[in-house]
């Protein structure tokens, strides 16, 4: 418990410093000026979302190999956190696009593939809720999750493969790409802070999924006992999912 509190405080402090650096330390961009500062929240959130979905992909493969429930817990935890960061991208993107492009949205490769990615992982969570059997749900989720991951490299490489309205990459881009040294330091600090937030959220969500799994096992055990001995009723609330 103490470790979780300290970790949260450290990450909270990192986010506070990152926000200050993005707003006040990073130099002004010469064409977009103040609106460009949303870049320090928009781009790191997108990178962290892809990292979370990569964790889901690895967890799905690991579950199919050894069928240990902990990998399924990690997969659903990573999916929910990835959706949260992907939502940040989809919210901050139009806020940035309107003053920069004159429109809130453009159906280009990067924006469309990012929206599709968000919808796919939403469907991942919705389909899980339709299956009551834990083992069947975990197997289906693992197979479906591996399929969904195909959109992750598509999102990443979209602006490298196609000419889009979305700006070309300034992080890990090709020739003539890059940032001012101070901008680059602020960007990577913001990414580090958001990665810390992702790690804490996945850890906490994992613990919740573990507790849910343990409750489900107790519920099933109580139902079995009540079926074997009709005089024994399951504990209050045990019949609820």
Find out whether 190 and 41 touch, Cβ atoms under 8 Å: yes
Each residue's pLDDT tens digit, 86-136: 999 999 999 988 887 888 888 888 888 999 999 999 999 999 888 888 889
Ordered alpha helix ranges (H), 130-180: 134-148, 151-161
* Nearest partner of 200 among 18, 63, 3, 40, judged by Cα: 3
Each residue's pLDDT tens digit, 182-237: 988 999 999 999 999 999 999 999 999 999 888 877 887 887 888 776 655 555 55
Q: How far is Cα 154 from Cα 152, in angstroms, rounded to an integer?
A: 5
Q: What is the mean pLDDT of residues 6-25?
A: 92
Question: Can you state the angle between helices 39-66 and 151-161, rounded to 10 degrees?
Answer: 140
User: Which residues are within 8 A (CB) of 110 and not within 5 positions of it... i.e. 6 or more apart?
Assistant: 155, 158, 159, 164, 166
Each residue's pLDDT tens digit, 17-65: 999 999 999 988 888 888 889 999 999 999 999 999 999 999 999 999 9
Buried b (16+ CB within 10 A) or exposed e, 47-80: bbbbbbbebbbebbebbeeeeeeebbbbbbbbbb
Stated pTM of the model: 0.85
């Amino acid at each position: 418990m103490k470790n979780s509190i300290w970790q949260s405080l450290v990450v909270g402090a990192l986010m506070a410093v990152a926000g200050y650096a993005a707003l006040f330390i990073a130099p002004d961009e010469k064409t977009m000026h103040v609106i460009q500062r949303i870049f320090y929240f928009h781009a790191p959130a997108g990178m962290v979302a892809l990292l979370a979905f990569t964790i889901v992909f690895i967890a799905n493969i690991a579950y199919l190999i050894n069928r240990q429930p902990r990998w399924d817990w990690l997969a659903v935890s990573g999916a929910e956190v990835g959706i949260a960061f992907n939502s940040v991208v989809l919210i901050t993107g139009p806020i940035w696009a309107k003053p920069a492009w004159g429109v809130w949205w453009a159906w280009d490769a990067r924006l469309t593939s990012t929206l599709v990615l968000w919808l796919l992982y939403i469907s991942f969570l919705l389909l899980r809720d339709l299956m009551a059997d834990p083992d069947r749900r975990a197997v289906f989720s693992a197979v479906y999750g591996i399929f969904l991951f195909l959109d992750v490299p598509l999102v990443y490489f979209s602006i490298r493969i196609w000419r889009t309205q979305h700006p070309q990459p300034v992080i890990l881009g090709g020739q003539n790409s890059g940032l001012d040294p101070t901008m680059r330091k602020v960007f990577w600090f913001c990414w580090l802070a958001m990665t810390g937030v992702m790690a804490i959220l996945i850890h906490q969500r994992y613990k919740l999924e573990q507790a849910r799994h343990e409750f489900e096992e107790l519920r099933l055990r109580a139902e079995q006992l009540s079926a074997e001995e009709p005089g024994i009723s399951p504990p209050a609330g045990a019949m609820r999912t």
